Amino acid sequence: MATHSTTFKLNTGAEIPAVGFGTWQDKDAQEVAVTEALKAGYKHIDTARMFASLPYGTEPACGAAIKKSGIPRSTLFITTKLWNNSHHPSDVEPALDASLKDLGMDYVDLYLMHWPVAFGRGDSMFPKDDKGKTINGDTDYVDTWKAMEKVYKKGKAKAIGISNFSRKETERLIKESEVVPAAHQIEVHPYLQQNEACEWFRSKGIHVQQYSPFGNQNEIYSKGQNMGKLIDDPTLVAIAQKHNKKNGAQVALAWGIAQGHSVLPKSKTPSRIKDNLEGDFKLDEEDLEKLKGVDRKMRFNDPSGNFGFEFYVGEDGKVE
């Protein structure tokens, strides 16, 4: 039975809803999609300054939908992210201010460093040289984090966190800074369970958030196009039928919640938006044991080549 209400506690003491609404891609469709999500009962919205090569991401659309909904801001959990061209310490607060302006808010509940790599400073979200190669900046992510600590202490971000970091990078960040990240948003799903890494993050008091909880359902991931979809996996489908659920997608979400993670499904289809919220239900031990067997350690998102930085070194699914 769906609960629609599972929450987890961050190391700040704040409660984060287990099922969030992801807004990656389809920028022009997001105001309508977020409106549908809010109507369906989502309280957790995940956006970013930059999504899928879309400058200014989905923040304006999310902000417009939230404003029009009439839902009190205090009842919602809103996440956005710092983009790579604003890693220089003096750029961090202005970048957050720009995000807050587009969202129509004076704070976000969670502010994430989107990637542990800096791009060249400036207005270009994805600076390239004359050969089309990404221009990287020289700001160390620890220095970026220390600037994020300042906006956290000012209350502009009620919590700060990271995304797409390795354990080694995270360990250094914790060692050299003051505030332990409240959350870490990474690719996790039944085909890439990352059990050892996720347990390590939890041991440090860092809540794990799952982006792409449906794995290769997203067509942007070329790696997963020549294989069956995760949500159609026979094991997930059988468990869905056992619980009188509609599809394997709901099982994928329930699996993530059972791990203690928040999950961030995305959709622009009203029926699927509602169905995904019903992924908040309890799997039994037999289900969870079966799902352990589908882990392929298969990572679908690795932009190392495009970003000029090697991500996920030493982590499951990294092709060395």
Query: What are the catalytic residues?
Result: 56
Three-class SS state of 119: strand
Rg (CA), the chain: 19
What residues contact residue 105 under an 8 Å CB cut-off, 6+ apart? 63, 73, 78
Distance CA 317, CA 320 (A): 9
How many C-beta neighbours within 10 Å does residue 21 have? Answer: 26
Residue length of the chain: 320
Q: What are phi and psi of 186, to 5 degrees?
A: -140, 165
Helix boundaries (H) for 128-269: 141-154, 167-176, 195-203, 234-242, 248-258
Amino acid at 144: T
Three-class SS state of 163: strand
Distance CA 86, CA 79 (A): 17
Distance CA 312, CA 197 (A): 11
